[in-house]
Structure 1
Amino acid sequence: MDIRQQRKLDHIRQALSLEEGPLPNGFKDVRLIHEALPSLDSRDIDISIPFLGKTLTMPLLINAITGGTPQVTDINRRLARIAAKAGIGIAVGSQAAALRDPAMRESYQVVREENPNGIVIANVNPNTPVDQAIKAIEMIQADALQVHLNVAQEMAMTEGDRDFRHWPENLAELVRHCPVPVIAKEVGNGVSFETAQRLMELGVRCIDVGGAGGTNFIAIEMRRRGLASQEFEAWGISSAATLAEVVWSGCRTLPSDERLTIIASGGIRNGWEAAKALSLGANATAVAGSVLKHLLSSSDGEQSVEKYIEEYRQALIVSLTLTNSSNLDTFAQRPCLILGELKEWLEQRCIPLAFWTQRNKENPVY
């Protein structure tokens, strides 16, 4: 087994053993406003969304987890089976291993085999040439391509990349030439307003914010080296803060006839936090660590994940009911409050709180 295959297995083992954080995801500082006199039937609430030309039953993706070694093929097979049954999307882990070694392709291809009609997302690094990225897409008949932005993880790895000079220009080439939409995805340290603006200038129209507060790849890589660094492991922007920054950046940067699709990820643990992310402006949410732990830490792993997804769904429905929202478009117009550290962050970043707190009022910001 080469170092890359061993790293895949180390990632799974460490993700199961390490706690999330140390930074909080920030959603405790987002408060939804209760409606005591709703005018709807909660059984009629629609939480489905159009996404990548298909329909998801709810705004949820199983985010990139693994692939690239035979030992994890069954994980991807089971996750894809769950995604197909639930009607949600799924992304595979980095396909670099399969692009180097065709013998590794099965660990990714099982996802499309088990989920022939659903949304499946490919995954490559920002240095991947266009022809190789297209092979990754074709490998799983992908509906989109994630390009993972993992500079902090690379810096934490002894064997990690150190030269990032060509990331922007190559990402622009991928956006220009790939036959499916490109999703710029952070892996746990967040995307700032300025970075989101640069991504949009490169042609990116979908960003997975991947904020701090969930699976911590810096901590995982440090543990692989037998090290720990509280300062380094606390690097990044919380998921709630990065989501707000990217939402505001999209509104400020793109013309009125264009839209930035935003996926909220990074320590979103349940449908209650997902509702807060959607209220802040996310179009969809994505989870990875919680799903992996349910799958591998329980004797009835698939049933445990299915129960988790159903609880996620029900929390979203209750959240919409309690804000008198018949669907997610209506919910997105409801005001929310921003408190505590998140409020301080946005104020120091000169991002107006009125954008969220004064919806449905005469407000020139919104």
Structure 2
Amino acid sequence: MSEPSSFPFPPAAANDPTAPGRKEDHIELAFQSQTDRATLDQRFDYEPLLAAHPAPGSLPPVTWGGKRLRAPLWVSSMTGGTEKALTINHNLARAAGEFGIGMGLGSCRSLLYEDQRFEDFNVRPLAGSEVPIFANLGAAQVQHLLERGEAGLVTQLIDALQLDGLIVHVNPFQEWLQPEGDRFTVSPLETIRELLRELPTLPLIVKEVGQGMGPASLRALLQLPILALDTAANGGTNFSKLELFRSDALARTAYGGLTQVGHSAEEMVRQINRLVVEEGDKVRCANVIVSGGVSDFLDGYYLTELSALPAIYGQASAFLRHAREDYLTLQRYVATQLRGLELAKAYLRPRP
């Protein structure tokens, strides 16, 4: 009769049949998993002792106007008025409803005077009533509406689509470089002020289109009673550069330098923080959407935590890549990003 083993536990394989294979994987992959110290993310302190693994759906809700977001994530305005837009917008709206995130529609200009592409933008039935969805018009279109005494068309547009407010995108370089672009005859700031005078109860978001804004523009917007300032910073999709690709060779040579100016999202958040201190009670803007070069949940977490004003973060191209085909691809992407954000909040502490 053999002596009983003195080891008090059964072999690992008896409890975990995957253990041998997993350990073999570890041996094979160890040499591929070396980390270069130069690539470490210096934005965070990693605190592995202070939290359990977060439960799915554990992000704190965010008040946004009269509604609540289940995660601090915003689908930034992208496209409208084309055949592909219907699939993209409808997939994005389903994701917004499923995950409780906000959404800005692409330019709704085509709906101001006709409804041929109404279904491209008719996303409320897919998103449900709880999530905020905003229409989107360029500053030039808003200027023209105001000049013609047609501000009421904005309200009609929002009511027809059952939306929660309006985004005004400010894009002087894009309009200048666009072969069929409009021209501003007054400053976008004056247009926004006039819109607020005409429609004082309209929840309003103001954004750039991929190059951000400098401190004087930020100061002016912070003093306005708007729901949010969207950074739309340099580092993501730059619509001025996009339009330049549609121009001829001479224009690309002459104006290429204009697409290289602008401000990063982090630069803008830090500038907003300074202005909030300087302006004090003059600050009337309620929120910040940090967008432009926000590639993943780590960028979003860092920048929203850095913000002195309540902040969420927006993405455009990342959503667009996953929304062009089937919904399951987009669904998995959003779920992965939100789980990553939950992990970041549990174990990472942003450095100032």
Task: State the Cα distance separating 1:119 from its structure 2 match.
Answer: 1.2
C-alpha distance in 1 between matches for 2:295 and 2:204: 25
| TM-score, scaled relative to structure 1 | 0.74
Q: Look up the match of 2:203.
A: 181
> Which residue in the other structure is 1:308 paired with?
333
Asked whether the equivalents of residues 247 and 262 of structure 1 are also in contact (C-alpha less than 8 Å), the reply is: no
Contact map agreement 2:225 2:284 (CA 8 A) in 1 = no
Say which of 139, 142, 148 aligns to 2:163. 142
1:139 Cα deviation (Å)? 2.5
1:158 pairs with 179, 182, 191, which one? 179
More moved, 118-127 vs 171-180: 171-180
The answer on whether the counterparts of 2:76 and 2:105 sit within 8 Å (CA) in structure 1 is yes
State how far apart, in whole Å, the 2-side matches of 1:37 and 1:252 are. 38
Please list every run of 5 or more consecutive structure 2 residues that lacks an aligned counterpart in the other structure.
Answer: 1-39
Partners of 2:62 and 2:68 within 8 A in 1: yes
Deviations 1:307-345 (A, max 9, x none): 11112112211111113xxxxxxxxxx652xxxxxxxxx
Letter in 2 for 1:237: H
Alignment of 1:76-87 (within 5 A): 76-87=89-100
Deviation at 1:30, TM superposition (A): 6.5
How far, CA to CA, are the matches of 1:272 and 1:305 in structure 2? Answer: 19
Aligned pair partner of 1:66 in 76, 79, 86:
79
Further displaced range: 279-288 or 250-259 = 250-259
Cα deviation, residue 150, structure 1: 1.1
Q: CA deviation at 1:161?
A: 2.2
SS of 2:81's equivalent in the other structure is coil
Secondary structure of 2:278's partner? Answer: helix
Alignment of 1:194-273 (within 5 A): 194-227=216-249, 228=252, 230-255=256-281, 260-273=286-299
Cα–Cα, structure 1 residues 250 and 134, in superposed 2: closer, same or farther, change >3 Å?
A: farther
Aligned equivalents of 1:137 and 1:258: distance in 2?
23
Q: Match of 2:229, SS?
A: strand
**What residue number does 1:167 align with?**
188
What CA distance in whole angstroms lies between the structure 1 residues aligned with 2:257 and 2:133? Answer: 36
Provide the C-alpha distance between the structure 1 equivalents of 2:105 and 2:239, rounded to a whole number of angstroms. 17
Residue pair 1:250, 1:260 contacting (<8 A) in 2 also: no
Q: Which amino acid aligns with 1:246?
A: I
Residue identity opposite 1:273 in structure 2: D
| 2:14 alignment partner in structure 1 | none
Q: Which runs of 5+ in 1 are unaligned?
A: 1-27, 324-333, 337-356, 358-366
Mapped contact 1:61–1:91 kept (Cα < 8 A): yes
| 2: CA distance, partners of 1:91 / 1:37 | 38
CA offsets per residue over residues 11-60 of structure 1, 9 Å max, x none? xxxxxxxxxxxxxxxxx987122335415663384332121221211101
Q: CA deviation at 1:211?
A: 0.2
Judge which range, 142-151 or 197-206, deviates more.
197-206
Distance 1:264 1:40 in 2: 28
CA positional deviation for 1:265: 0.6
Correspondence for 1:289 among 313, 317, 326: 317
2:17 maps to what in 1?
none
1:209 deviation in Å?
0.6
Match in the other structure for 1:322: 347
- Structure 2 SS opposite 1:122: strand
* Matched-pair identity in %: 26
Distance 1:309 1:39, change over 3 A: closer
Q: Deviations over 1:123-180 (max 9, x none)?
A: 1122413222222222322212101111121121122123241422221122231533
Who is 1:326 aligned against? none
Amino acid of the structure 2 residue aligned with 1:116: G
Task: Tell me the amino acid that sits aligned with residue 188 of structure 1.
Answer: G
Structure 1 residues 29 and 248 mapped into 2: Cα distance closer, same or farther (>3 Å)? farther
Structure 1 vs Structure 2 CA RMSD = 2.5
